[in-house]
Structure 1
Amino acid sequence: MSLLHWAILAPFIMAIFIPFLYKYFRQIHTGWFVLAVPVVLFIYFVQFIAGNSRGETVINSVQWIPSLGIDFTVYVDGLGLLFALLISGIGSLVVLYSIYYLSNKTEALNNFYVYLLLFMGAMLGVVLSDNLIVLYVFWEFTSLSSFLLIAYWYQREKSRYGALKSMLITVFGGFSMFAGFILLFIITGTFSIREIIGQADIIATDVLFIPALLLVLLGAFTKSAQFPFHIWLPDAMEAPTPVSAYLHSATMVKAGIYLVARLSPVFAGAMEWFWLIAGFGIVTLFWGSFTAVKQTDLKAILAFSTISQLGLIMCLLGLGSAALHYDFLDDNIYIAATLAAIFHLINHATFKGSLFMVVGIVDHETGTRDIRKLGGLMSFMPITFTLAIIGTFSMAGLPPFNGFLSKEMFFTGVIRAAQMDIFNMETWGMLFPVLAWIASIFTFIYSMMIVFKTFTGKYQPEKLDKKPHEAPIGMLIPPIVLASLVVIFGFFPNLLSYSLIEPAMASILPNLLEPGEKFYVNIYMWHGINTELLMTIGVIAIGSLLFLTLRKWSGFYNIFPKKLALNHFYDQGLVSMERGSNKLTNAYMTGSIRNYLVYIFAFFIIILGGALFTLNAFVINTNDLAPIGIYEAILSLVMVIGTVTILFAKSRLTAIISLGAVGYTLALFFVIFRAPDLALTQLVIETVSVALFLLCFYHLPKLKKEISAVRFRLTNAVISLGVGTLVTLIAISAHSTRLFESISNYFVEASYAEAGGKNMVNVILVDFRGFDTMLEVLVLGIAALGIFAMIKLRLAGRNEG
């Protein structure tokens, strides 16, 4: 495997050692051991920037399941490198922050860092995988690890609730995305993203194009919290603040954006792709910013802010997809949306990551995040206040910070989108700049709420759990680094132009470039007096007025009935599903073994028998049958007599002996058919089972009278005859049908030559079907451990009693 593969696997490998480091080095915070992983990974990925800016792509592959076209192929292009740097870079700062945020004495740090490393490795796998199936495996791993991180404080009901909600919604989207990947494979015959992009023209004309597009977008929308799937993100804020700063500002929620960007070369240009992404994005932008203003918890405000900002980036990617319909060399303004999306993706990671850390500091040092209890902290926490100013002003789109630049580019994108003459934009295009402008006003309001309601105003010590003071330097360094990047990228945005932004754009819109060409990227602060600047002035003016008069109009939010809230529908849906499943389960779980067998056998007869008759799969061919000898006939008669005896036996002992006679007779069949190993196995099993039966029945209470005659039941008769007849017909048909050449000759020839064994059956079990045998042993081992655990628990309970 290459270094790229090891880079992805490194967090998983480190996760194995965390419990031991936590156990044997308790005096050292476990985070210090973990910190080396993202730092080394970040340094490693930085080395790719120079080659990536020249258009070079690094590809390495390891075969996994080549027969199914599934290989562990990883490659670093502009888009993958950008996300890898965010994952490892922000990850380094988050781990450093967590060292000072989480106590080594009171927290189960072994669990926390194992979950965090699993998530980090899964995210790297998502953004660097070329194979769709491998990407999907890592994708679901992010859902699982984020579930564990959100539920880290599992003693809290809200943590468990938020974790379950996030997993249900994102896993649902993941399954939908997986179905879309299967459709892409059906169309193209490959799981390779690079090869699928090469067949984009073929995919666009296929009847499965729209279903594949819709299913893939379901996965992207659920993961990136797009309306109406956004409801999981605010509840996920019950996770520790380092988790929120990592998962919900820079990594997990960006996975859906990555998927849209990665598959844009496949679907971009289609009207459905344009409207779904741009439409849901602009609605999510508006709804997230509108809802954030009514929140009173700082993390809740940032949660809805994240939803809003994700909608902004998603909208830009949708608008940018229309660039395929224009010649960008003549008018490169149509790629402005994609440029803005990439730039804001970076900016959002910097200012939102720092703001989450600032909120964590406030919570850590005061004991609350409720803005109704906060105020006047500026004099106690001047550094934190400065960081909050930088982060919130950038998020509000104010100069001279990087958020102002990407927000202006966003305004440019939506204004130009309204001027498009495709996709019915002549009619509906004006909605984009209008909604964008209104959403920006609410963004300004909640940004001001975060900083001024927390750090200015009246100090209320009686409402605080702790006396506020500045955070330790270790907790301040990560947000200081991010806030510094906010300022640096604001004054020197072109540091990223051709190192990260342009290569990422080339990955999203490769069809617009000729070999050797590059997109023109030049980001600067002053564009003169234009529409975008006037929109910003309007945002500041109206936003300031609404912020100052917030108490007078905030009651407007109470008009909306809670019964119409999406969270209400989610909760009621879960309750209804639980009640319905309980009713259904109680209807068929009667406690009667007979009823369960009736369900199983009836299903077997109806489904399997119906399918075989419908497909005309029953074939009876007696040409290859050997003559029935006298021994076979006698043994068959003995088995029939033994079976009937079981049915009409009036004592337990008779029934057990008859059952054993059937088993021993079957062993004689194996002897006649020259299968001594099977005969020996059957004899051993039959002996043990008969002995166990006798032992069990010995300990049962004595019956006052022998078993009465079995009553005739029509249902039993029909099902037993049906199962017996169906199995017999299947066996005869299987013997009579030869769809493929028999593989027995292969095993005869290869058993000794390739596996070194003369006993063909043993060789098949141990070598040719080694994985099957290993898993069977594993299942038996798990069952044995489960039984042992139950016995131990029962004994422990008795001892305690």
Structure 2
Amino acid sequence: MAILFLAILFPFICAALVSLLHKRLRRIAHLGWFILPIPLIIFLFLIQYIPQIAEGKTLIHTYKWIPSFHINFTTYLDGLSMIFGLLITGVGSLVILYSIFYLSTKESLHHFYCYLLLFMGAMLGVVFSDNLMVLYTFWELTSVSSFLLIAFWHHRKASRAGAKKAMMITVFGGLSMLAGFLMLYVAADTFSIRGIVATLDIVSQHALFIPALICILLGAFTKSAQFPFHIWLPDAMEAPTPVSAYLHSATMVKAGIYLVARFSPIFGGEAIWFWLVSGIGLITLFWGSFNAVRQIDLKALLAYSTISQLGLIMSLFGLGSVGHYYGYADSTLLYTQASFAALFHLINHSTFKGALFMMVGIVDHEAGTRDIRRLGGLMALMPITFTIAVIGSFSMAGLPPFNGFLSKEMFFAAVLAIRDVEAFSIADIGLLFPMVAWVASIFTFVYSMILISRTFLGRFQPERLDKKPHEAPFGMLISPIILCVLVVGIFLFPNLIGHYLLQPAMASIYPSFPSISELTPHISAWHGFNMELVMTIGVVIIGTVLYKTLKSWQPLYRLFSQRYTFNAYYNQALSFAESGSTKLTNRYMTGNLTHYFIYIYVFFIALIAGYFIWSDAMVLRVTRDAAVESHELILVFVMMFAALWIVFAKGRVTAMLLNGVLGYSIAFFFVIFRAPDLALTQLVVESVTTALFLLCFKYLPDLMPEQKQRKARWSHVTISILVGATVTLVGLAVVHYERFESIATYFNDAYELAGGSNIVNTILGDFRAFDTMLEVVVLLIAGLGVYTLTKLKPRKGEADNEN
């Protein structure tokens, strides 16, 4: 299955080619037409493996990367990764097709499509990777590429701010997730997810198991915009609509969902996993739907609706984790259906939410605004767009005959069933689950009606619009129409997806169950007159009443002060961090070189001397040392004399010559101790540097000794003595240090393997070369930064443009 490895790399390779060939390609046709085949090829490639995956097969390929650290590029295609792979490439194809007609050719299209391909490849890497370190690498790459996509219109202040907020929150979660991965590695001695699942009995008993669980969930919650980390998603709506339709409905926000699903076999049986995943999911579901009603921007409304829907899916995976607790038992069927519903709604949400985002983009593109206060009466002018909005909104509200109705009914069944669970002390508050789910669904119905009525019904207000609205070009309608066809088609034939996609994915989440087919229900639109149907009828009735009386109760939102929102706390924390760091930096960045040396030396004394004293490592056994020869004593006294004289020197040339005496004396020591290579190097470097310094210092004014207060003078003397004593004592102590194996053993073997005949040459030529390489990279980055600052100029008026 090496071709799966190539499928991940394919978007990255194409991104590089686009950046090189975009000028030639744009002369032929719109750049998007050359990008469109890339996700289509991967999509068609994955489709051919659906029958094999449906039969229970798993396709694995391992590329040896860093085997000494257990880091291998292992690609893993099972039912769960198949669903996400199809969403990433399928919706990605539709988004690229949509962007061809949405984005102007005057835009920097090669940048847009490069970022999009980077994101696509990173997402494929996340869902197909079995190794935790490889998964983390792609995970953070999704954050970087999404930052570039959100800030694509970088001349807008809001776009830059939204990209920065998304980056900061998701990267914070990613670092937490990395800590969790490292803890799992310590517990399992493997980075393989399959290997951890295989040794779960041992891993679950480790002290780091629960801390790893919490750290990994932090990564999942931040990426999937779960409460209280949801604040980045509304601001990210400043991105172009194709980006919103792709990242925030089908891919990036689903990465956290994927992580929870993938790690359910590991953590699913834990009570803390159940309460965190289901509890945070339900809170997010309610809070997102509640806040969506108050929005006046169509994309902001969809942003909060996305937060709400992600909370619904997350809560279902939490409820489904009860099945891991019970194992394979008769009652398990009831609980594992929650995971089945989560997977089903995951697919449904990608279809109807993708169509809705594209619909909003069409309205914005053709009417010039997304403000619902300025919209209305567009149904007659944009009938196809109106139809797309109705299908997507009704599916989001959970109404038949659309796919959202099926998964929403299964959601109600899951929250009703959880009341009878005896594990995790659920029975005490089990009634809260269906109550919160029902209330959140009512608000979902209300904002779905707002989306339709405020945009397409009511009075047409042409005087408030920036342009005369009309139906979008057919090319822009193709992608949302295809998604709407899927919305209706899945409702009519849901069990095709159930058998070929959902059932294999369930086998991935419950790998220890012997017959996963028994855990996958038959999907049907009618189950009789049951409690789920009663809840749906109640949602429609009460939701209609609330929508009709919206003006009378919507002022309640004013009770929520903007000073006490999570966004306000985020801005305050950011402002405090910036002001605090500025004050701290101004305290120690004084511009005085003496102060900088004091900071360095005090830290050096505290760290080195402190460790040696604290660990009782300061062992001195001078009786075992070799005798000191008279010529060695002479050299020591010469160096001491030169060092002391430098302090009292009144001229720079004198100080530099005395410094040269120190350097040449060290070279003599190398000769005495039979290290001619080091002596030669020291002599060459000392001669060159002394000559260069003398050449420069000759033209500088005379040295004016700094007038210091007595207190400062004595503090500097004390620090100097402590530094010298620390270096001397540590040098003497390490000769007899026996707590750890001497590093000389490693280098003795290494220089022979490196093919060198001298250990010093080998260290300098081979191992020190790594440091040199990194130093050169740092200089290269600094050079690029300087070049950018000096050569690139902003466009006229761009710096002042805040729109």
Identify the TM-score tier after normalising by the shorter chain: over 0.9
Equivalences for residues 305-704 of structure 1 within 5 A = 305-326=305-326, 327-329=328-330, 332-511=333-512, 513-514=513-514, 519-622=519-622, 625-701=625-701
Q: How does 1:734-745 map to 2 (within 5 A)?
A: 734-738=734-738
**1:285–1:309 contact (8 Å) kept in structure 2:** yes
The residue that corresponds to 2:113 in the other structure is: 113
Q: Cα distance, 1:775 vs. partner?
A: 2.7
For 1:606 and 1:690, locate their aligned partners in 2 and report how far apart those are by CA, in whole Å: 32
* Deviation readout 1:376-396 (Å, 9 max, x if unpaired): 111221111111111111001
Which residue pairs with 2:143 in the alignment? 143
SS at match of 1:674: coil
Looking at structure 1, the residues matched to 705 and 205 of structure 2 have their Cα atoms a distance apart, in angstroms, of 71
Moved more, 596-605 or 229-238: 596-605
Contact 1:765–1:773, Cα closer than 8 Å, also in 2: no
CA distance in 2, matches of 1:781, 1:414: 57
Partner Cα distance (2:35, 2:775) in 1: 37
Q: Which amino acid aligns with 1:558?
A: R
CA distance in 1, matches of 2:248, 2:707: 69
SS at match of 1:179: helix
Residues 354-393 of structure 1 deviation map (CA, whole Å, 9 limit, x = unaligned):
1101111111111111111111111221111111111111
Residue range with higher mean Cα deviation, 774-783 or 297-306: 774-783
Q: Distance in 1 between matches of 2:403 and 2:224?
A: 22
Letter of the 1:407 counterpart = K
Distance change >3 Å, CA 774–CA 202, structure 1 → 2: same
Report the secondary structure of 2:674's partner residue.
coil
| C-alpha contact (below 8 Å) 1:365/1:470 kept by paired residues | yes
SS in 1 for 2:617: coil
CA contact (8 A) 1:328 1:335 kept: no
Once the two structures are overlaid, the 10-residue window that deviates more, 25-34 or 555-564, is 25-34
Alignment of 1:724-743 (within 5 A): 724-738=724-738
1:162 partner letter? G
Matching of residue 75 in structure 1 with residue 76 in structure 2:
yes
Q: Give distance in 2, aligned partners of 1:419 and 1:726.
A: 68
Q: 1:679 to 1:790 in 2, by over 3 A?
A: farther
Task: Report the AA paired with residue 339 of structure 2.
Answer: T
Give the whole-Å Cα distance in 2 for the aligned partners of 1:480 and 1:769.
60
- CA–CA distance in 2 between the matches of 1:205 and 1:643? 60
Mark the CA change 1:768 to 1:613 in structure 2 (over 3 Å): closer, same or farther. closer
Letter in 2 for 1:449: I
1:124 counterpart residue number: 124
The alignment partner of 2:123 has SS state of helix
Q: CA RMSD in A?
A: 2.4
In the TM superposition, what whole-angstrom CA distance separates every residue of 1:676-698 from its partner, at most 9, and x where no partner exists?
A: 33233323322332233223323
Q: AA paired with 2:171?
A: V
Deviations 1:58-113 (A, max 9, x none): 111122222222221111111111111111111111111111111122x1122212
Q: Aligned runs of 1:28-67 on 2, under 5 Å?
A: 28-67=29-68
5+ long unaligned stretches in structure 1: 795-801
The whole-number CA distance in structure 2 between the counterparts of 1:183 and 1:135 is 15
Instruction: Give, in whole Å, the separation in 1 of the partners of 2:387 and 2:516.
Output: 44
* AA at the equivalent of 1:298: L
Distance of 2:32 and 2:44 partners within structure 1: 19
Distance in 1, matches of 2:240 and 2:587, equals 42
> Greater shift after overlay, 161-170 or 736-745?
736-745
Cα shift at 1:734? 1.9
Secondary structure, counterpart of 1:25 in structure 2:
helix
Change (3 A) 1:420 1:33: same
- How far, CA to CA, are the matches of 1:786 and 1:85 in structure 2? 39
Q: CA deviation at 1:736?
A: 2.1
Aligned to 1:192: 192
What's the CA shift for 1:129? 1.1
SS at match of 1:61: strand
**Range moving further from structure 2, 605-614 or 200-209:** 200-209
Q: CA deviation at 1:585?
A: 2.1
Residue range with higher mean Cα deviation, 614-623 or 624-633: 624-633
1-side partners of 2:77 and 2:262: how far apart?
12
CA contact (8 A) 2:323 2:332 kept: no
Question: In the aligned structure 2, how far is the partner of 1:383 from the partner of 1:207?
Answer: 58
User: How many residues are aligned here?
Assistant: 789
Question: Is the 1:502–1:521 contact (alpha carbons within 8 Å) kept by the matching residues of 2?
Answer: no
For residues 131 and 484 of structure 1, the distance between their equivalents in structure 2, rounded to whole angstroms, comes to 37
Match for 1:99: what amino acid? I
SS of equivalent residue, structure 1 residue 64: strand
Question: 1:547-578 CA deviation, whole Å, 9 max, x = no partner?
Answer: 12222221111121112211111111111222
Whether contact under 8 Å (1:268, 1:324) holds in the other structure is yes
Whole-Å separation in 1 of the counterparts to 2:507 and 2:706: 82
Residue 506 of structure 1 and its aligned partner are, at CA, apart by 1.2
Select between 279-288 and 109-118 the one with higher mean Cα deviation. 109-118
The structure-2 alpha-carbon separation of the partners of 1:470 and 1:624, relative to structure 1 and needing over 3 Å to count, comes to: farther
The CA distance in 2 between the partners of 1:573 and 1:227, in whole Å, is 17
Paired with 1:502 and 1:445, the residues of 2 have a C-alpha distance of 33
CA distance in 2, matches of 1:473, 1:261: 38
Query: 1:268 matched to which residue of 2?
Result: 268
Deviations 1:286-309 (A, max 9, x none): 110010000010000000000000
Contact 1:506 1:518 in 2 (8 A): no
Does 1:717 pair with 2:713? no
Residue type of the alignment partner of 2:150: I
Amino acid in the other structure paired with 2:572: Q
2:506–2:520 contact (8 Å) kept in structure 1: no
Amino acid at match of 2:214: L
> Whole-Å Cα distance in 2 between the matches of residues 734 and 68 of structure 1?
29
Q: Distance in 2 between matches of 1:482 and 1:789?
A: 43
Structure 1 residues 789 and 4, CA gap change in structure 2 (3 angstroms): closer
Shift of 1:541: 1.3
1:155 match: 155
Cα gap change, 1:697 to 1:643, in 2 (>3 Å) = same
- Report the Cα distance in structure 1 between the residues aligned to 2:305 and 2:330, rounded to whole angstroms: 36
Asked if the contact 2:344/2:407 (under 8 Å) is kept, the reply is yes
- Could you tell me how far 1:342 is from its partner in structure 2? 0.5
Q: Deviations over 1:502-546 (max 9, x none)?
A: 1111111223x1178653331011111111111111111111122
Query: Bigger shift: 235-244 or 774-783?
Result: 774-783
Residue range with higher mean Cα deviation, 346-355 or 187-196: 187-196
Distance 1:664 1:294, change over 3 A: same
Tell me if structure 2 keeps the 8 A contact 1:441–1:540.
yes
SS of equivalent to 2:287: helix
Q: What is the CA–CA distance in structure 1 between the aligned matches of 2:192 and 2:99, rounded to whole Å?
A: 37
Q: TM-score, normalised by structure 1?
A: 0.94
Measured in 2, the distance between the counterparts of 1:790 and 1:394 equals 50
Find the counterpart in structure 1 of residue 774 from structure 2: 775
Instruction: Please name the residue that 1:798 is paired with.
Output: none
1:784 CA drift (Å): 6.0
Shift of the 204–354 alpha-carbon distance from structure 1 to 2, 3 Å rule, reads same
Is the CA contact (8 Å cut-off) linking 1:622 and 1:736 kept in structure 2? no
CA distance in 1, matches of 2:754, 2:190: 33
The alpha-carbon distance between structure 1 residues 478 and 589, as it changes in their structure 2 partners (threshold 3 A), is same
Q: Are 1:58 and 1:75, in contact at CA under 8 Å, matched by a contact in 2?
A: yes
How does 1:244-323 map onto structure 2 within 5 Å? 244-323=244-323
Instruction: Please list the CA deviations of residues 753-800 of structure 1 after superposition, one character each: whole Å capped at 9, or x if unmatched.
Output: x55554554444444665444334434555566678889899xxxxxx
Aligned AA (2:487) = V
In structure 1, distance between residues paired with 2:167 and 2:358: 24
Secondary structure in 2 matching 1:226: coil
- Post-superposition Cα deviations, 1:700-758, rounded to whole Å, max 9, x if no partner, equal 3457xx65898761111111111111111111222222556666577667757x55554
The 10-residue stretch of structure 1 (181-190 or 247-256) with the greater mean CA deviation from structure 2? 181-190
Contact between 1:384 and 1:470, CA under 8 Å: does it hold in 2?
A: yes
Alpha-carbon deviations, 1:132-160, whole Å to 9, x = none?
12111111111111111111111111111
